[in-house]
């Protein structure tokens, strides 16, 4: 049981390039999230999904897109990278059953846009 895995761990992009941040979970959780964390700041919710085929915007969705074709995968797409998107990106899941509801986070992807 690997939990939440994210790839890549680190990436440098040039302005205007595009990339996809991968997130995969093996816990069969319905809820998945993408957060970004700027240096010294808390987490900002970008997008979330309550199940396959269903996604919705969070606090800071501009410049990003997501899809959720399967329960396991929730990729985050950056179409035209900008320096303001330099951040650490965390994917998370949430288990919504029983008395141990909790959110599980991946190890993060560090993105630098130059």
Partner 1 sequence: DAKTTQPTSMDCAEGRAANLPCNHSTISGNEYVYWYRQIHSQGPQYIIHGLKNNETNEMASLIITEDRKSSTLILPHATLRDTAVYYCIVSAQKTSYDKVIFGPGTSLSVIP
Residue with smaller CB distance to partner 1, 77 or 94: 94
Q: What is the CA radius of gyration of the chain?
A: 14
Query: Segment contacting partner 1 (CB under 8 A): 20-28, 42-50, 64-72, 74-82?
Result: 42-50
Instruction: Give the pair of three-digit tokens for residue 16.
Output: 């205007």
- Provide CB contacts within 8 A for 7, sequence distance 6+: 21, 22, 109
Pair 70, 54: CB distance under 8 Å: no
Looking only at residues 64 through 103 of this chain, which bind partner 1 when binding is defined by CB under 8 A?
88, 90, 92, 94, 96, 101-103
Cβ–Cβ under 8 Å, residues 96 and 86: no
Residue 15 beta carbon to partner 1: minimum distance, rounded to whole angstroms: 25
How many residues line the site for partner 1 (CB under 8 A)?
27
C-beta neighbour count of 78 within 10 angstroms: 20
Q: Which listed residue (56, 69, 70, 80) binds partner 1 by CB under 8 A?
A: 56
Where along the sequence are the contacts to partner 1 (CB under 8 A)? 4, 31, 33, 35, 41-45, 48, 50, 56, 58-59, 88, 90, 92, 94, 96, 101-108
């Amino acid at each position: 049981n690997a939990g939440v895995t994210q790839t890549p761990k680190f990436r440098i992009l040039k302005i205007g390039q595009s990339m996809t941040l991968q997130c995969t979970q093996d816990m069969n959780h319905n809820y998945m999230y993408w957060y970004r964390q700027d240096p010294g700041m808390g987490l900002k919710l970008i997008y979330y999904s309550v199940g396959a085929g269903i996604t919705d915007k969070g606090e800071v969705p501009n410049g990003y897109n997501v899809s959720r074709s399967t329960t396991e995968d929730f990729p985050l797409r950056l179409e035209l990278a900008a320096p303001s998107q330099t951040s650490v990106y965390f994917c998370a899941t949430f288990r919504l059953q029983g008395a141990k509801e909790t959110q599980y986070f991946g190890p993060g992807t560090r993105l630098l846009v130059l």
